[in-house]
Amino acid sequence: MFAEKLSSMLSRLFRPQPKYITTTVSPAMAQQLPPDKMPRHVAIIMDGNGRWAQKRGLPRSAGHAAGTEALRDIIRASDDWGIEALTIYAFSTENWARSKEEVNALMGLLLKYFASEIDELDEKHVRILILGDVDGLPGPQREAVVNAMERTKDNTGLKLNIALNYGGRQELVRAARALAEKCRLGELEPSDIDEDAFAAELYTAGLPDVDLLIRTSAEMRLSNFLPWQTTYAELVFDSTLWPDFDRACYLRDLRAYAARDRRFGGVHDAPEAQAEGIGGAPDGQNAEGAP
């Protein structure tokens, strides 16, 4: 009896571990989330590729390659689950400071990604938009992304936004310059500049604000990603390294989002106000006061 138990314990302990943990999550499982608790716009900082590779004694480029595989399925899942917009941080303006070898590997992956995925994305009616300075990309990458945007611009499915050569502060400066230029040309009065006018000059013009921002690898910072658009986003810091991030992780983060209480700086409606369909704070409370 004891010997049997011991042998079963040992065989469980020394069972070869799968290289990738694959978890299948059906659309039905995702549908368990109430539709009104699904985010319209999810943004993801895909962090941890380097550490994933390092843990395996592999070059950092292998981590980025594995991260690209994870990305393929997360895009499919977003489409399957009816997410309206998905924005991913693929390459920041600061990433040029990495080694030449790593930058080349990332640029190579980008080309491979567009060549291999564009047909499927287009068939699924995915609309691709690049957020960032496309003109600052090397020729072949620029051509690939411009073609992808052009080919999918009228698609009405998932809005897939790829932040590439993107910096959040640069995006804000660019918008301020565009508005200043309109004022200089007499097309706009400074007093006409409001939040809508500003948002219309961002790469994300026309997209809803980010509802849920996920960052993987347990790092807890925003790294110059979508500063305007994430003002009221719910933040989920997931400890999974990006290449291991799969549908089950995504679903877990969507569930965490669904459980959040979003108040947008206000407070909950008083029951009587709710019944009458009137918004506002209970007596003596400032509707703007809550974080």
* Helix locations, the chain, DSSP H: 2-13, 27-31, 49-55, 60-80, 100-123, 139-152, 168-184, 195-199, 247-258, 271-276
Q: How far is the CB of 65 from ligand FPP (least distance, A)?
A: 8
Q: Which of residues 149-168 bind ligand FPP (CB under 6 A)?
A: 162
Please tell me the distance from the alpha carbon of residue 249 to that of residue 252, in angstroms, as a whole number: 5
d(CA 171, CA 95): 16
Catalytic status, residue 95: yes
d(CA 215, CA 235): 8
Structure tokens at 32: 């368990």
- Is there binding between residue 64 and ligand FPP (CB under 6 A)? yes
Cβ proximity to ligand FPP, 46 vs 62, nearer residue: 46
User: Of the candidates 21, 149, 42, 152, which has an alpha carbon nearest to the alpha carbon of residue 88?
Assistant: 42
| 237 near ligand FPP (CB under 6 A) | no
Q: Distance (Å, rounded) from C-alpha 282 to C-alpha 262?
A: 17
Binding mask 112-151 for ligand FPP (x = CB under 6 A): -x--------------------------------------
Q: Provide the token pair at 145.
A: 């992304």
Does residue 80 carry a catalytic annotation? no
Residues in the interface with ligand FPP (CB under 6 A) total: 19
- Closest-approach residue to ligand FPP (CB): 50
Q: Among residues 162 and 212, whose Cβ is nearest to ligand FPP?
A: 162
Tell me which of 33, 40, 51, 183 binds ligand FPP, using CB under 6 A. 51
What is the closest distance, in whole angstroms, from the C-beta atom of residue 213 to ligand FPP in the complex?
Answer: 15
46 touches ligand FPP (CB under 6 A): yes
Q: Pairing between strand 85-92 and 41-45?
A: parallel
127, 153 contact by CB (below 8 A): yes
**Residue 199 CB, nearest approach to ligand FPP (Å):** 25
Tokens of 2: 């004891």
Among 42, 83, 86, 110, interactor with ligand FPP by CB under 6 A: 110
Can you tell me the distance from the alpha carbon of 81 to that of 133, in angstroms, rounded to the nearest whole number?
A: 30
Q: What is the binding site for ligand FPP (CB under 6 A)? A: 46-51, 64, 67-68, 71, 90, 95, 106, 109-110, 113, 162, 217, 242
